[in-house]
Amino acid sequence: MSLHRLLYLSTGRPDLAYPDLRDIMAKSEVNNERDGITGILCFGNNRFVQALEGDRKQISETYARILNDPRHTDPELVEFGPIDCRAFTKWSMRLIQWDINEPATIRDIRMKYCSGALFDPSTMNAKQCLSLLMDMHALQG
């Protein structure tokens, strides 16, 4: 057993709809609880950024399943490595969705890390992705 964290980005399928996100979350919560994985998934502007934490082998297996999922494309591994402790202990998985009705607190986090007007994690480095997700985790406490 070795505690690791994986961060990746991807793009949602163009016709991705709310029921798809609900289905992804329902499956993630069950599977991740079973596998000792914790994390967070942010979605906005049709882009995903996700953190997965837990045992290296379990994360590898989960990421392999995620890569095969036709509901998103263009996966980009941002970071995968050992960690001393988890940053996302609150949830097996939690979806945070960015939309045009975002509250000021969420807007502030978006503006803190995004170079443009839209939520776009592809413009962020690994440290910024992690900080954004940690800010969201703290906010959603």
The residue ranges that bind ligand FAD (CB under 6 A) are 10, 23-24, 27-28, 31-32, 41, 48, 50, 52, 62, 65-66, 68-72, 93
Closest of 49, 70, 25 to residue 130, by C-alpha: 49
Residue 125 identity: N
- As given in the structure block, the two tokens for residue 51 are 């953190």
As measured in angstroms, the least distance from the Cβ of 88 to ligand FAD is: 11
Q: Is the separation of the CB atoms in 92 and 37 below 8 Å?
A: yes
As measured in angstroms, the least distance from the Cβ of 15 to ligand FAD is: 11
| Shorter beta-carbon distance to ligand FAD: residue 57 or 104 | 57
As measured in angstroms, the least distance from the Cβ of 109 to ligand FAD is: 19
Judged by DSSP in three states, 100 sits in coil
| Shorter beta-carbon distance to ligand FAD: residue 68 or 101 | 68
